[in-house]
């Protein structure tokens, strides 16, 4: 039996050995020739192709990636399968790797792949939707609690040596989730999991997603599907879970923020391009929003002069909501299953 040549490109999060272990588990009887490489992410920030594509036409079609395509092509060499997390796959790379037939991307979308070039070269791309849905959903609940129950304010004060006993005052303390209306924009892999976690708190839950219907369990539990305007007007907490599309880019702006309840909270564990952060800052300054939990930003890493970094009414994290060991193992298993299907000649589960 000939060996299946597989190139694995991981990093300090998606460690290469998780991919290798998953591949051997999925294909226990196959002869696998696995070569591995680990990039320096997240210690080195990823690049964003939105701006760099203009300077380098070969990066056209890429949104988030890390690494030089020529160096990646040299590593991939004659491999038939590439299992990848962040390495860029461009038209130039594909020209240099004519043996490549399958690319399994361990991300929710193939944002580091030039899909038009892959189709032109006859290379099948698969990805791993929902790989970190559980991690992000749990993190979202944490963000809501950190803001509404003043956990962040208390933490920051104590780090400064200040005892904020005044946070116990009725005019300053927060409300329990069970007494609030939470609105979720988006009901995909993550939004639907957040919905199910929230049900345990006993809060009223509104969902706005014009492309997905609530499942029977959520509907029977009293979750309400409404339009965006209704969600904004009635929610005490608005949490964003949509994908970045031309329709959702800039969705949260001065106009939509003005439609929200005065004193509401905004949570973003999705993506930065959907939010106008200058408008968000203005809403926090005016008191239209009481607080915000921000996991993603318009520019990452966030510039040190961004005023949101010093705003007293925000909880900030550096895009880590999806980081969990379960995410790593689940993503590796999803990719390995697609490689198994490739070997067996079976249909793919998540073709891009």
Q: In what order do the strands lie in the sheet with 4-10?
A: 32-38, 4-10, 81-84, 102-105, 124-126
Residue 48 has pLDDT above 90, yes or no: no
Indicate the pairing of strand 4-10 with strand 81-84.
parallel
- How high is the pLDDT of residue 9? 98
Rounded Cα distance, 174 and 167, in Å: 9
Active-site position among 85, 189, 204, 271 = 271
Q: For 104-131, what is the mean pLDDT?
A: 96
- How high is the pLDDT of residue 181? 98
- How high is the pLDDT of residue 57? 72
Token representation of residue 327: 């995410």
Q: How confident is the model at residue 47 (pLDDT cuts 50, 70, 90)?
A: confident
Q: Percent of the chain, pLDDT > 70?
A: 98
- How high is the pLDDT of residue 55? 59
Residue 50 has pLDDT above 90, yes or no: no
Active site residue 271: yes
Per-residue pLDDT reduced to its tens digit, 139-161 = 999 999 999 999 999 999 999 99
Rounded Cα distance, 11 and 17, in Å: 10
Residue 53 has pLDDT above 70, yes or no: no
Per-residue pLDDT reduced to its tens digit, 267-320 = 999 999 999 999 999 999 999 999 999 999 988 899 999 999 999 999 999 999
Rounded Cα distance, 241 and 127, in Å: 19
Characterise 206 by phi-psi region: left (phi > 0), alpha (psi -120 to 50), beta (else): beta
- How high is the pLDDT of residue 54? 47
Residue 259 C-beta-side C-alpha neighbours within 13 Å: 15
Residue 208 has pLDDT above 90, yes or no: yes
Per-residue pLDDT reduced to its tens digit, 223-254 = 999 999 999 999 999 999 999 899 999 999 99
Three-state DSSP at 18 gives: helix
Inter-residue contact 23 to 7 (CB < 8 Å):
no
Q: For 121-131, what is the mean pLDDT?
A: 96
Q: What is the mean pLDDT of the chain?
A: 95
* Closest of 118, 266, 129 to residue 185, by C-alpha: 266
Active site residue 71: no
Active site residue 319: yes
Enumerate domains of the chain plus CATH numbers.
Answer: 4-131+324-344 (3.40.50.720), 133-316 (3.40.50.720)
List strand residue ranges (DSSP E) for the chain, in order: 4-10, 32-38, 47-48, 64-65, 81-84, 102-105, 124-126, 181-185, 204-208, 224-225, 237-240, 264-268, 289-294, 314-316
Active-site position among 5, 149, 300, 341 = 300
Active-site position among 131, 290, 319, 330 = 319
């Amino acid at each position: 039996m000939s060996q299946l040549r597989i190139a694995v490109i991981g990093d300090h999060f998606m460690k290469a050995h998780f991919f290798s272990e998953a591949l051997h588990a999925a294909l226990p009887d196959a002869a696998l020739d696995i070569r591995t490489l680990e990039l320096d992410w997240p210690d080195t920030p990823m690049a964003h192709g939105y701006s760099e594509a203009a300077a380098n036409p070969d990066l056209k079609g890429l949104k988030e990636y890390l690494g030089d395509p020529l160096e990646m092509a040299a590593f991939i060499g004659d491999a038939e399968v590439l299992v990848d997390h962040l390495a860029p796959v461009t038209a130039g790379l594909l020209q240099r790797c004519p043996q490549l037939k399958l690319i399994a991307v361990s991300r929710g979308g193939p944002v580091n792949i030039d899909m038009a070039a892959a189709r032109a070269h006859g290379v099948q791309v698969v990805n791993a939707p929902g790989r970190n849905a559980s991690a992000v959903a749990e993190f979202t609940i944490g963000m809501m609690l950190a803001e509404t129950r003043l956990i962040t304010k208390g933490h920051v004060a104590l780090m400064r040596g200040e005892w904020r006993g005044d946070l116990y005052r009725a005019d300053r303390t927060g409300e329990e989730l069970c007494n609030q209306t939470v609105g979720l924009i988006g009901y995909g892999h993550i939004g639907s999991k957040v919905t199910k976690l929230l049900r345990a708190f006993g809060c009223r839950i509104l969902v706005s997603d014009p492309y997905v219907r609530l499942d029977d369990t959520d509907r029977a539990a009293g979750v309400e599907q409404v339009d965006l305007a209704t969600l904004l007007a009635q929610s005490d907490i608005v949490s964003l879970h949509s994908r970045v599309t031309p329709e959702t880019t800039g969705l949260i702006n001065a106009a939509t923020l003005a439609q929200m309840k005065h004193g509401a909270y905004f949570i973003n564990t999705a993506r930065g391009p959907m939010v106008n952060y200058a408008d968000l800052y203005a809403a926090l300054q005016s008191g239209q929003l009481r607080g915000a939990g921000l996991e993603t930003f318009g520019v990452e890493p966030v510039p040190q002069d961004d005023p949101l970094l010093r705003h007293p009414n925000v909880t900030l994290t550096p895009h880590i909501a999806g980081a969990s060991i379960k995410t790593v193992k689940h993503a590796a298993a999803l990719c390995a299953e697609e490689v198994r299907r490739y070997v067996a000649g079976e249909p793919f589960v998540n073709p891009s």
